Amino acid sequence: MDKATENKIIVPLFTFFIIVCGFCSFLKSWLTSKNIDPLVLGFGNILLFILSLAVFSIQKKALKNTNPQVFVRAIMLGTFIKLMVIAIAVAIYLVASGEDRSVYAVIASMVLYVVYTIIDVRIASKLNRRNGSS
């Protein structure tokens, strides 16, 4: 797969990342009024974006294998990796922040996890279709 095709496939991932970053930046006071810490939400967004790029790399590598089960396992592995890393990050945040924690920001980050996972699965589906037609 060439770079132009790769870039075209992951545009939704970059688009969603930019939208959430803008939302955290420009609506900071609104988020704060809803007891959502924009810094925590922004960190969750960055973490999930980086994890999604790593998952994309894993899936792209799995497509080179002739066994179709390798690609399915790569999708499942990517989802599991993201879930575990975000769970560890949430646990660290809740322990480190003490009484000054933003539970609503954690919940919003979990919603971001679901959206990023949906985007990842759609990207994996496009990768699989493009690989099947080659």
13-63 pLDDT tens trace: 999 999 999 999 999 999 999 999 999 999 999 999 999 999 999 988 988
The CA dihedral of 27, 30, 34, 39, to the nearest 10 degrees, is: 40
Range of the domain at 66: 3-133
In this predicted structure, the answer to whether residue 110 has a pLDDT above a threshold of 90 is yes
Query: Mean pLDDT throughout 98-114?
Result: 91
> Locate tokens 């925590």: which residue?
40
Residue 8: predicted pLDDT: 86
Phi-psi region of 118 (alpha: psi -120 to 50; beta: other; left: phi over 0): alpha
Question: CA–CA separation, 12 vs 71, rounded Å?
Answer: 21
The one-character DSSP state at 103 is H
Write down the pTM of the prediction: 0.89
Domain count, the chain: 1
Mean pLDDT of the residues in the chain: 89
The one-character DSSP state at 65 is S
Residue 70's contacts (CB-CB under 8 Å, 6 or more residues apart) are 62
Amino acid at 4: A
